[in-house]
Structure 1
Amino acid sequence: MKIVFDRKKCTYHVSDFNGEHNHDLHVPICVHLLRCQRNITESQAVEVDLAYDVGLTQKKSFDLFSVKSGGREHVGFLPLDQKNYFRTKRERGLQFGEVGSLLMGFKDQASQDPSFFYAFQLDNEEQITNIFWADGRMRMDYELFGDIVTFDTTFATNKDHRPLGVFIGFNHYREQVIFGASLLYDETQASFDWVFSTFLEAHNFKKPTTLFTDQDIAMGNAISVVMPEVRHGLCTFHIMQNAIKHLGNLMKDDSCFLSDFKALMFEYEDVTKFEKEWEALLKKYKVHGHSWLERTYALKEKWARCYMKTTVTLGVRSTQLSESMNAKLKKSLKSKLDIPTFFKLFGMVVSDKRYREVEAEYNAKEKMPRVKVSCLPLLKQARKVYTPKIFELFQRQWEKSLLALVGNKQERGRLQEYLIVSCDEEGEYVVTHDEENATLLCSCNKFETVGILCGHALKVLDVLGIKYIPETYILKRWIRGAREGCALEEDGLDVHRSRALDVSDRYRELWPDAVRLAHKASEFKDGTSSTKVR
C-alpha cells in the first residue's frame, strides 16, 4: 500500500494497493492473542513474582489475573508469555552460575542485614562444596534459646540432591526457631566437622547444652571432635524406626517386642533396673549377639531415660522439631529447583515459622489460660509469668502434687530430705531442701532437665508454707518476657536490619493502599469514568 501526501490540500490518500500481500484481519475477540498486543508490564511482573513466591502454579496465577482483569482477553499476556518470563528471569539470575548467584544473594542479604553470616568451603579444585548461613534473627534466637538444638538432614531439596541440614530449637512458646542452615556436598564426617565448626563460629562459639541427632555415625563422630563438651542425644523416633527395620521379624503376630523395647527407652529411671530388663529382653526374644542391638546398647547413655535423666532436654527426646521442619520444606520445595530459587523459598518457610511466634504472642495476651483454682497464689503467679504452653505444663505438675504424700522426713544438718510417694505413679522420690540457700533438689530431676518444678517439689513447697514460686526456679527462657532486652522493630525485624527496599518490597507496601483506593472509587460511577491509567 502506497500513501501520498498532497501538500496543497494537506491530505493523505492511497495511491496504490495490492491485496495479495495482506492477511485477513482478526476478529476483535482474537486481538489479544497478537504478539504486538502482549506484554507483561512492570507491575504485572511484580505480581507474577509474588504469586510464584507463595507457591501458586503458573496456571493458577494466570487464572487469578484473569479473574482480576475481567477475562483472559484483558490480562495483556498469555500463559506462554508468563513461562518465557520465568525462563528469561532464571537465565538472567544464573548469569554467574548457580553457586555464584547464591553468593551474590548472600552479599545482598548481608548489605541489608549486617548480622547476616554465611560461609562456604572449597575443595582442592577451588569448587564450593559446603555452604552455611544464618541471618540476624537466627543468631539472636540462638542467643536466647540455643540451649537445646536438634540437627537433621534431608535429601532432594534441590536438583543437585544436596543434603540440607537445619539447626532447630524452640522458643518460650515452644514454637520452632531456626538457628542456621547448610547445604552439604555429602554426609561424611569431614563435611559435618566443617558445618558444626562454622555453626559455632556464627554464634560466637557459644555451644548448646544438648544436641539431638539421628544415629548417623559420621555425625556423631563430628560432634565428639568439634564440641566434646556438648551432651549428644539420639533421636528416640529414629531408634524405634531402626528397630522395626532390623528386628521386624520379632514383631509378628502378638509379639510385644516393640513395646518392651520402648519401655527401655522411656520408663526405667534406675540404671540397675534398666540393665536387668535389657538382659531380660535379650533372653526373652533370643537376640544375644545381634549386631544392631549391640551397637545401640553401646550408645545407651544417649537414649535411655535412666542415663538421660540428668541431661537438660527441655522435654525433647528426638529430632521431631527437625522432622516437622523437613516435612514443611519437602512440601514447599521441589527437587528440580536451582539453588538460588531454593534459597528464596527456604526463606519463606522460615518466615512462616517465625509468624507462629507472632500468633502465639497475640493469643497469650488475648486469651489468658484457665486457672483451675483461681484463688491459689502459686497458680496466679505462674499464669502471669509463664507463656500459656509452659503454664499448662506447670499446672499439670501442680495437679500431681495434689496426689503426692510425704512419706518421711529426715534432718541432715541444714538439709531436710522429704520422701515423696504418689497415688498415680510407682516409685519413691527424694526432695532435698536446703534451708540456708533456699534451694530444692528432686531425684526426678524435672527442673534440671525441663526447667519447671515437678509435682514432688511443689508438694514440699506447700508443706513449707511457700505460696509462690521462688525466683530461682523461674527460667527466663520460659517466661512471657523472654525477648525483653532484644531490640526488635514493630514488624519483627531486628534493629540492625537495613530498611532499604527493593521494587518488590515497595510494591508490597503500596499495594494495600492501592486496593483500598480502587475499592473506594468503584463505589461511585464517577470514580470509574475517568481515563484509565496505564
Structure 2
Amino acid sequence: MADDLDDDGGINCSVDERDELPQNTDQQIEQNEPKIGMEFNDPDELFEFYRDYAKSSGFPVKKHTRRKNVIGIVRSITLVCGRAGKHNSTCQNPLKPQASYRVGCNAKITARLNLDGRWEISVVVLEHNHGLSPTKSRFFRCNRRISAHVRHQINQNDQAGIRINKNFSSLVHEAGGYENLLCDEKACRNLVDESRRLRLGEGDASAIMKYFSRMVAENSGFYFDIELDDEDHLKNVFWADGRSREAYKEFGEVVTFDTTYLTNKYDMPFAPFVGVNHHGQSILLGCGLISKEDTETFIWLFTKWVECMDGCAPQGIITDQARAMKNAIEIVFPNTRHRWCLWHIMKKLSEKLGRYTEYEAISSTMKGVVYDTQSPQEFEIQWNEMVDMYGLEDCDWLCELYEERNRWVPCFVKNCFWAGMSTTQRSESMNAFFDGYVNSKTSLKQFVEQYENALRNKTKKEMRADAESFSKVKATATTYDMESQIQGVYTLAKFKEFQAEFTGKLYCDIANFHEGVGVLEYVVRDLTLRLEGGKRIPKFFKVSFRETDSEVECGERM
C-alpha cells in the first residue's frame, strides 16, 4: 500500500550556478552523495541527510511515498527531487497557464527497513533534468524553518510593539545576512499572526478557567485540559461534560470530527466530536478549541479525548481528507476504522476534473462507479474502465483517491457499522446548532458563556423526543411480526427509518435460488426504481448467505 505524503518542494530555478561556489564544493558534494547500502536509524534521520545533500547540490526535496505491508507497518520510503511529477493545471483559461516547479525530474532515493530495524538505501537516482543552484537553496520550502531561539525573539519584539519589517531586519542583522537565515519575512508574519491569536483578550483565559472550575464543582464527571505554549499563552483547550461522557458509553461506536467552523475572533477552530443518539439526533461527545491544524495538535486533542473516555477508542471515525488528521488517527487510534467524508470528496469533482473537455461525462460516470457498485471487485473493474475511457491515468487526484479507496468508497466500507453516517454532516450540523449563539466575532469569554446555553437547548430537544417516543405509537404498515416487534423497542425516529426499509422489501422478490455447501445464493429482483409514467424497472443483484457465520454478502448487479 502506498501513501502520498506532504509536498515539500521549492521554487522554480533553471540556472546552473555551480561555478559560483568554491572549487572544492563539488568534491564535498560527491563525498556526501547518497549511496546504496547506507543505513539510518529512522526516517527523520534519512530525510535530514538527503535534505542536506540537496541543499549543497542546489535542488529541493520532498517526501513522496511510503509503502506498508499487509499489517500496516511502513516498510519503505521514497524521497524525491522537489521538481518531480507532472504539472496538471486547473486553470480554466488556457491563455493564462499557471507556473509550476514540477518538470518530471526522476532524481530520488528509496530506503527499506532491513532485518536489523535500520533504514537502508536500496535505490539511488542522482541525475536531474533541470539546472541546479546551490545559492538558491535557502529559498526552497524544505529548507525554511524557524528555530526556537528565533521564534522567541520574534514574539518578544512583536509584544514590544516592533513592526514586522523591523523585526525581520533585526533577525537578518543578527544572522549576518539573508543567506544565513532559514526563514523569510512571510514566515515571520505567519508566526506573528499565530502568536497574536494565542494572546487572548482581557478576561478570556480567566473566563475559561472560571467556567471550568465551576463545572468541576457542580459536575464530578466534567473533564478538561489546557495546553500552553512556550510563552505560557493559551494554545489548545479540550473539555467534555459528564453527560457527553455518559452518552459516549451508549453511542460512541462511531464519531465524526470536523474543524471547518471558526467560532471566535482569534480564528481558533471549534473541534467537536459528534455522535448520533437513539433518535438520530447529533450529540456532542466532547470538543476543543485549537490554535493550529497540524499533526501535533490533533495528536494532543485525540489523546485528551480518549483519556476522557476512559481509554475507549471508537470503532469508526469520519473526517475530511486532512493529512494531519489521518496521521494523528493512525497514532492515537491505530485500531479504529477511519473513513473519509464522501460528500467532501464528491464536491471536488468540478475543481479537480473541470479542465477535461468531457467533464460532464466523467462526472456522471464516476458517480455511478462510486455509488452504484456493490462489491470491491465490481468497483475495480468499472474504475479501470473509466480511467481508460477518458484517459485519466495522469490525474494525481484520482490516483491518490484510488490508493485510499478503502477509506471512502461505499462498497469498501459497508462491512463496518457507521450508525447511518457517511459524511461529517453531523459535525457540520452541530456547528450549525451553535450558530444561534456564537459567530466569527465571539470572544472566548463569550463563547464559554454561550456554550452551556446551547448545550442545554440541545438536551431539551433530546428529552422532548424521549417523551414523544414514550407516549406516541407509529402504526405498522404490514402484518409482519417483525415490524410489530421493532415497533415496540425502537424510538419513533428509528422505527420510521426501519419501516421505510422494511416496506421497500415489498418491491423485492427472489428470481432464482441455489444451495451450495454451507452457502445459499439468491438472485434478487429489485423493483424500487420507478420511471416516469409509473413503470418500474427491475434491477437484479446476487446475494449470498453463509450459514457458518450468518454473514450476508451482496454481490454485483447482474
TM over 0.5: yes
> How does the TM-score come out when normalised to structure 2?
0.58
Residue 98 of structure 1 and its aligned partner are, at CA, apart by 1.1
Q: Per chain length, whose mean CA-contact separation is higher, i.e. which structure has more relative contact order (CA < 8 Å, sep 6+)?
A: 1
Query: What's the counterpart of residue 205 of structure 1?
Result: 311
Deviation at 1:409, TM superposition (A): 4.4
**Is the 1:200–1:206 contact (alpha carbons within 8 Å) kept by the matching residues of 2?**
yes
Aligned to 1:387: 491
Provide the rounded CA distance (Å) in 1 between the counterparts of 2:402 and 2:367.
13
Shift in Å, 1:104: 1.7
Find out whether 1:243 has 2:349 as its counterpart: yes
Aligned residue number for residue 314 of structure 1: 419
Aligned partner of 1:289 among 378, 394, 403: 394
Cα distance change on mapping 1:378 and 1:348 into 2, 3 Å:
same
The residue correspondences of 1:72-91 to structure 2 (distance < 5 A) are: none
Match of 2:231 among 111, 119, 125: 125
Deviation at 1:422, TM superposition (A): 2.4
Counterpart position of 2:293: 187
Q: Residues 315 and 223 (structure 1 numbering): CA distance in 2 closer, same or farther, change over 3 Å?
A: same
Q: Give the Cα separation in 1 of the matches to 2:261 and 2:500.
A: 39
Distance (whole Å) between structure 1 residues aligned to residue 448 and residue 389 of structure 2: 51
| Distance (whole Å) between structure 1 residues aligned to residue 214 and residue 202 of structure 2 | 15
TM superposition shift of 1:229: 0.5
Q: Letter of the 2:482 partner, please give it.
A: L
Distance 2:278 2:550 in 1: 23
Q: What is the aligned residue count? A: 344
Question: In structure 2, what is the Cα distance between the partners aligned to 1:404 and 1:359?
Answer: 39
Q: TM-score, normalised by structure 1?
A: 0.61
Residue 97 of structure 1 aligns with an amino acid whose one-letter code is: G
Secondary structure of the structure 2 residue equivalent to 1:249: coil
How do 1:121-160 residues align onto structure 2 when only pairs under 5 Å count?
121-160=227-266
Shift of 1:273: 1.7
Residue 282 of structure 2 is matched in structure 1 by 176
Checking the alignment, whether the CA contact within 8 Å between 1:328 and 1:349 is kept in structure 2 is yes
Q: Give yes or no for the alignment of 1:441 onto 2:441.
A: no
1:283 positional shift = 2.7
Match of 2:380 in 1: 275
Aligned amino acid, residue 312 of structure 1: F
Structure 2 vs 1, CA of residues 194 and 237 (structure 1 numbering), >3 Å: closer, same or farther?
same
**1:196 aligned residue (293, 302, 305):** 302
1:265 and 1:303 in contact (8 A); partners too: no
Matches within 5 A, 1:424-435: 424=527, 425-433=539-547
Secondary structure class of the residue paired with 2:262: coil
Within 2, Cα distance between the matches of 1:443 and 1:140?
A: 35
Q: Which amino acid aligns with 1:219?
A: M
- Displacement of 1:348 in angstroms is 2.2
Q: Which has the higher helix share?
A: 1
Say which SS state the counterpart of residue 255 (structure 1) adopts.
helix
**1:422 counterpart (510, 525, 532):** 525
Q: Aligned to 2:501, which of 374, 391, 397?
A: 397
- Going from structure 1 to structure 2, the CA distance change for 1:111 and 1:96 (only over 3 Å counts) comes to farther
Whether contact under 8 Å (2:315, 2:336) holds in the other structure is yes
Structure-2 separation of matches of 1:95 and 1:305: 46
Summarize the Cα distance change of 1:270–1:343 in structure 2 as closer, same or farther, 3 Å threshold.
Answer: same
Query: What residue identity is the alignment partner of 1:279?
Result: N
Match of residue 100 from structure 1: 206
Q: Using the alignment, how far apart are the partners of 1:248 and 1:354 within structure 2?
A: 44
Alpha-carbon shift at residue 244 of structure 1 (Å): 2.4
State the distance in 1 between where 2:357 and 2:546 align: 43
**CA spacing shift, 1:407–1:211, aligned 2, 3 Å:** same
Question: What's the CA shift for 1:360?
Answer: 1.6
Question: Once superposed, what is the RMSD of the aligned Cα atoms?
Answer: 2.3
Structure 2: where are the runs of 5+ without partners? 1-199, 528-538
Task: Report how far residue 138 of structure 1 moved.
Answer: 0.5
Three-state SS of the structure 1 residue aligned to 2:354 is helix
Distance 1:120 1:105 in 2: 13
CA offsets, 1:372-425, max 9 Å, x none? 12x43221111011122222332333334432227324263xx46252512334
- Is the CA contact 1:269–1:309 (under 8 Å) kept in the aligned structure 2? no
Residues 1:115 and 2:221 aligned together: yes
CA distance in 2, matches of 1:330, 1:247: 33
The AA in structure 1 aligned to 2:376 is V
Q: 1:379 to 1:234 in 2, by over 3 A?
A: same
Picking from 356, 360, 379, the partner of 1:255 is 360
The amino acid across from 1:306 in the alignment is: C
- Distance change >3 Å, CA 358–CA 444, structure 1 → 2: farther
Q: Which residue of 2 aligns with 1:165?
A: 271
Partner of residue 410 from structure 1, selected from 505, 512, 515: 515
Distance in 1 (alpha carbons) for counterparts of 2:304 and 2:286: 10
Contact kept, 8 Å, 1:251 with 1:258, in 2: the verdict is: no
Deviates more, 1:363-372 or 1:327-336: 327-336
Write out per-residue CA displacement over residues 317-348 of structure 1, whole angstroms, 9 at most, x where no aligned residue: 10010111222334531222210211221222
Q: What's the secondary structure of 2:550's corresponding residue?
A: strand
Q: Secondary structure of the residue that 1:256 maps to in structure 2?
A: helix
SS state of the match for residue 273, structure 2?
Answer: strand
Does the CA contact (< 8 Å) of 1:212 and 1:233 recur in 2?
Answer: yes
